[in-house]
Amino acid sequence: MLFVLIGIIAGLIGGMGIGGGTILIPALVLFTHIPQKTAQSVNLITFLPVAIIALIIHTRESRVKYNIALFIIIFALFGALIGSRLAIHVSVYWLRKLFGIFLLIMGIYEFLIRDS
């Protein structure tokens, strides 16, 4: 039942384009005691179907700017290659710290700086 709840919440967040991994990874690590690197791998594989569904819906609403997305995808592929290699060699301790710092910075940005 816990996996169902975590999946629904991560899917809701992911469908909005916020990134379900911000919920999925910490929830798996904290509540199910799955190791950090395994949680990251689960996040990557669950991202695919969630992203496909969200992309279909957002495309129907004409919200996807493909010219911008394709440009970003090209460079994001390089970043993903580097990041995945780095994640293999970085200790779980540092992965957790880096992920926490990232979430903290994004939270501060969303709460204090970003205006709609």
pLDDT in tens, 31-79: 999 998 899 899 989 988 888 988 899 999 999 999 999 999 999 999 9
Whether the pLDDT of residue 18 is over 80: the answer is no
Query: What is the three-state SS of the chain?
Result: CHHHHHHHHHHHHHHCCCCCHHHHHHHHHHHCCCCHHHHHHHHHHHHHHHHHHHHHHHHHCCCCCHHHHHHHHHHHHHHHHHHHHHHHHCCHHHHHHHHHHHHHHHHHHHHHHCCC
Predicted confidence at residue 20, as pLDDT, reads 80
Predicted local distance difference test score (pLDDT) of residue 72: 94
**Number of domains composing the chain:** 1
Better-predicted residue by pLDDT, 19 or 73: 73
| Residues spanned by the domain of 23 | 2-113
